[in-house]
Amino acid sequence: MVSAREPYGRFATYYDFIYHGLVNYQGDVNFLEAIFRRELRTRPRDILDLGCGTGNHDLALAKRGYQVTGLDRSSSQLSIARRKARAARVRVRFVRGDMRAFDLARTFDSAVCMFGAFGYLTQKSDAVRCLKAVHRHLRVGGLFVYEFWHTPAVSPRDDWFYKVGPRYGLVRLGHGRFDVRTRVLSVEYHFFAFSGRRVLDRFSETHALRTYTVSEMRGILSRGGFRLIAAYAATPQKKTFRPVRRDTFRVMVVARRR
């Protein structure tokens, strides 16, 4: 099981190998910029990214001229993010911290939290704490744009991933369970890295993510000092201004600091 102190421990090594091609990072940034143009009078100068992981969104944003700070609890993922930024000769500040309680001693024009990161706040009180922390770090009128998993669309199932690269192949088996009472979707992952017939690495991690409804999220945002501006349907491959339906699994929220 994933340690509370070190999420994405050994998983971090294989994260980019798995999600390269599955997540359209450039498309995500295109959509963020479309939201900025729609909702802000001026282009944001600096952006805070919560749950930044290995920094894929951060590097893409920095290459477009934004000053980016990425925050994550996983030292393993942050090490990879810093290495990638150095290799790309891109300046991004990466900080290890808990998005429920952090103090960077500065404010930002906008903040984002992409992919599944917000779901790791498995208690509603944790989500409110996160929003209050973001509120303290945003300038008045600043935007917080983030994704969450939509409770009505949850359908736990077993899945598998298989990919062969130049250095190794990887199999990931997943088994999902949904707790209706807590609205937490837990996925138990089993990883097998191999080269030919030789197993290079094998381990298991369980990831638990909280799901929400849009109305529930509106109330949480209000408690955190934000106003819900819009909620859009999203996928890892494509984000548009389509409205949320009952079967929408990923929801992209746009909220403004009050």
pLDDT digits (tens, 9 = 90+) for 39-78: 998 999 999 999 999 999 999 999 999 999 999 999 999 9
> What's 34's DSSP letter?
H
Residue 2 lies in a domain: no
Query: What integer best gives the mean pLDDT of the chain?
Result: 95
Residue 6 lies in a domain: no
Nearest Cα residue to 233 out of 247, 251, 216: 251
Q: Pick from 170, 186, 209: which residue ends a domain?
A: 209
Domain check: are 230 and 142 in the same one?
A: yes
SS3 14: helix
Domain check: are 202 and 223 in the same one?
A: no
The letter for the amino acid at 246 is R
Whether 4 has a pLDDT exceeding 50, the answer reads no
Taking residues 201-230, what's their average pLDDT?
A: 97
pLDDT band with cut points at 50, 70 and 90 for residue 6: low
Domain check: are 219 and 173 in the same one?
A: no
Domain check: are 191 and 221 in the same one?
A: no
Q: What is the pLDDT of residue 5?
A: 46
Q: Do the beta carbons of residue 152 and residue 246 sit within 8 Å?
A: yes
pLDDT above 90 covers a percentage of the chain that reads 95
SS3 139: strand
- Residue 216 CB-half CA count within 13 A: 15
Residue 202 lies in a domain: yes
Per-residue buried b or exposed e for 31-56, using 16+ beta carbons within 10 Å of the residue's own CB = bbeebbeebeeeebebbbbbbbbbbb
Residue 25 lies in a domain: yes
Domain check: are 203 and 229 in the same one?
A: no
Cβ neighbours of 89 (radius 10 Å): 7
Structural domain count, the chain: 2
Q: What is the pLDDT of residue 3?
A: 37
Domain check: are 126 and 252 in the same one?
A: yes
Domain check: are 87 and 162 in the same one?
A: no
Residue 1 lies in a domain: no
Tokens linked to 183? 């609205």
CA distance 193 to 170: 4
Q: Pick from 185, 209, 233: which residue ends a domain?
A: 209
Taking residues 8-18, what's their average pLDDT?
A: 91
Taking residues 24-38, what's their average pLDDT?
A: 97
Residue 3 lies in a domain: no
Taking residues 108-125, what's their average pLDDT?
A: 96
Domain check: are 35 and 163 in the same one?
A: no
Residue 102 lies in a domain: yes
Q: Do the beta carbons of residue 80 and residue 12 sit within 8 Å?
A: yes
Q: What is the pLDDT of residues 148-197, one digit of tens each?
A: 999 999 999 899 999 999 999 999 999 999 999 999 999 999 999 999 99
Whether 239 has a pLDDT exceeding 50, the answer reads yes
Q: What is the CATH number of the domain that holds 166?
A: 2.20.130.10
Domain check: are 60 and 184 in the same one?
A: no
Residue 4 lies in a domain: no
Whether 9 has a pLDDT exceeding 70, the answer reads yes
Q: What is the CATH number of the domain that holds 224?
A: 3.40.50.150
Domain check: are 200 and 121 in the same one?
A: no
CA distance 197 to 103: 48
Domain check: are 109 and 40 in the same one?
A: yes
Domain check: are 202 and 216 in the same one?
A: no
User: Domain range holding 223?
Assistant: 11-150+212-257
Q: Do the beta carbons of residue 189 and residue 97 sit within 8 Å?
A: no
Q: What is the pLDDT of residue 176?
A: 96
